[in-house]
Structure 1
Amino acid sequence: MTKIAITDDDFQKFREYFYRKTGINFETTKRYFVDKRLVERVEATGSDSFRSYFSMLRFQVSGAELQQLTNLMTVNETYFLREEYQFKCLVDSVLPEIVQSKSDKSPIRIWCIPSSSGEEAYTVAMYLMERWPGLVRWDVEIISSDIDTGILHKARVGRYSTRSVQHVPAPWLTKYFTRMGDDYQICEDLRQAVEFTRVNLAEPGDTRPYRNFDVIFCRNLLIYFDDVSRKAAAETFYDALKPGGYICLGHSESMSRISSLYKIRKFPEAIIYQKPLEG
């Protein structure tokens, strides 16, 4: 079989196409990573060249191959209690502000995007159960979304490696997980507490139904976007938040460098960003 090669022109065409579809911009430093996965899918689909594969990718009505490729191209590196100070901020500072300003008993809504394999959303659920007394009085909805259907399946299953749970306190590990060989299976109650959904942040049709959130966690995603995509994402999150709602970014990300829509909130535990109250 002829070895498939990805030329500079091929890489450029693919990079522009994938950027339009997902908002993710691959720098030339990622060339080896991208080429390897493209060749893998060219061969897996039985295409005889990048050109024939790329034509199929663009014109396939179902979009199944684009989803397969997206699953390969997205990075899903995470673990439980990552950047824990933000979860402390959620229960100690943010949620008390939210409930104080609530005029009804509607659920508190939290959106985690990207979901990755579910550690962040499940950490939110555990933190609320262990550290937030308000949970006895308030209903909370946790929705966790990702563009990668494979990683969403893993999140729903909720089975994790020793490395993934290494920062989970021993009492929590005993309470919420069951040892399964070398892995840890998260309990059914927590799996029922989180709704996992597929969302492409760059696709308005996907994000339009996501509204009226009190808190959004979007950590370490925008580093893969360029300035235009980051600004568009900031506007999408602005529309998804209730007036006065909050968004948490990764430690190396700054909303003030992306958009002027939000105001900076400096809490004792963390700096996060807030959608201003109307009026």
Structure 2
Amino acid sequence: MADISISEQDFEKFREFFYRKSGIQFDDSKRYFVDKRLIERIEATQSGSFRNYFMLLRVQASNAELQTLTNLMTVNETYFFREEYQFDSLVNSILPEIVRLKQDQKPIRIWVIPSSSGEEAYSIAIKLLECWPAINEVDVEIISSDIDTHILGQARQGLYSARSVAQMPTRYLQQYFRRVGQNWQICDALRDAVEFTRVNLSDPSDTRAYRGFDVVFCRNLLIYFDDISRKAAAETFYDALNPGGFICLGHSESMSRMSSLFRVRKFPDAIVYQKPLEAR
């Protein structure tokens, strides 16, 4: 196959298309990364040129190729107990307040997005078991979502390198994991405790079913969005949360700069954001 090149015009076309589909905006510094991934898929699909491949992306009824490309384009780097102070806030402040507010016996529902390879959702599950005594009386559901279907498969498998578990207390590692060669696999009970789902945060047809949550963890995703997409995401989370529900963002993200829908709550362990109790 002849050498394939991506022109400046091609890059602009793709950047605008991918932004509309995913909400993710690639700036010029990502040009090499984007070109490399595009060329990989042009060759794999035997499209021969960017023009032919771009047509495939736009007209393929099943969107299978767009999903494959999205899996390549999204960054999935995390580890267990990352930014643990928010998990401390969850068990020390957020969940006790939710229990006081709830007027029914429905489970507390936690939504983690993006899921990445599952470390965050499993960290929350372990934190609840180890540090929140009320877990013995209160049912909790954890749903973890991502746009990347490949990474969701890894999350369901629950197999991790030594690097991923490096921040894990030794006691937790021994109790909740088993050694598989050079890696560690999380126990079946915790794998069964987390539901992993494919969701595109920028697609209302995907997010419409996600309602009735008490807590949302969306950490270090919105930094890849522009202002318009961040505002739309904030509105999606507002609709997904029950009145009085909370959202936790990454340490460099601020809901106050995205939307006025949420109240700032300053707990001893972390600053989080709350959907007003009077909201409907």
TM category (shorter chain) comes to over 0.9
* 1:85 is aligned to 2:85: yes
For residue 22 of structure 1, what is the aligned residue in structure 2? 22
**One-letter identity of the residue aligned with 1:248:** C
Q: Does 1:173 align with 2:173?
A: yes
Matched to 1:177, the amino acid is F
Deviations 1:148-201 (A, max 9, x none): 000000000000000000011001000000011110010000000000000000
**How far apart, in 2, do the equivalents of 1:49 and 1:95 lie?**
53
User: Which residue does the alignment assign to 2:210?
Assistant: 210
- Alignment correspondent of 1:117: 117
Match of residue 200 from structure 1: 200
What does residue range 132-143 of structure 1 map to in structure 2 within 5 Å?
132-143=132-143
Measured against aligned partners, the alpha-carbon deviations of 1:36-72 in whole angstroms (never above 9, x if no partner) come to: 0000000000011000000011000000000000000
Alignment match, 1:261: 261
- How far did residue 204 of structure 1 move? 0.3
Shift of 1:105: 1.0
Structure 1: how far apart are the matches of 2:192 and 2:37?
A: 34
Q: Distance in 1 between matches of 2:218 and 2:31?
A: 26
Q: Matched residues in 2 for 1:181 and 1:154: separation?
A: 16
User: TM-score under structure 1 normalisation?
Assistant: 0.99
Give TM-score, length-normalised by structure 2: 0.99
Structure 2: gaps (5+ residues): none
AA partner of residue 236 (structure 1): T
Q: Secondary structure at the match of 1:168?
A: coil
Residue identity opposite 1:124 in structure 2: I
Q: CA deviation at 1:102?
A: 1.2
Q: Aligned residue for 1:36? A: 36
**CA-CA distance at 1:104 after TM superposition:** 1.3
Provide the secondary structure at the position in 1 that maps to 2:162: coil
Amino acid at match of 1:176: Y
SS of 1:195's partner is strand
2:236 aligned with 1:236:
yes
Give the distance between the partners of 2:248 and 2:43, measured in 1 at CA.
40
Provide the C-alpha distance between the structure 2 equivalents of 1:93 and 1:51, rounded to a whole number of angstroms: 53
Cα deviation, residue 103, structure 1: 1.2
CA-based RMSD of the aligned residues comes to 0.5
Task: Please name the residue that 2:153 is paired with.
Answer: 153
The answer for the alignment partner of 1:65 in structure 2 is: 65
2-structure distance, mates of 1:214, 1:115: 17
Aligned-pair identity in percent equals 70
Runs of 4 or more consecutive aligned structure 1 residues displaced over 6 Å after TM superposition: none
Deviations 1:240-276 (A, max 9, x none): 0000000000000000000000000000000000000
Q: What is the count of residue pairs matched by the alignment?
A: 279
Letter in 2 for 1:227: D
Structure 1: stretches of 5+ with no match in the other structure: none
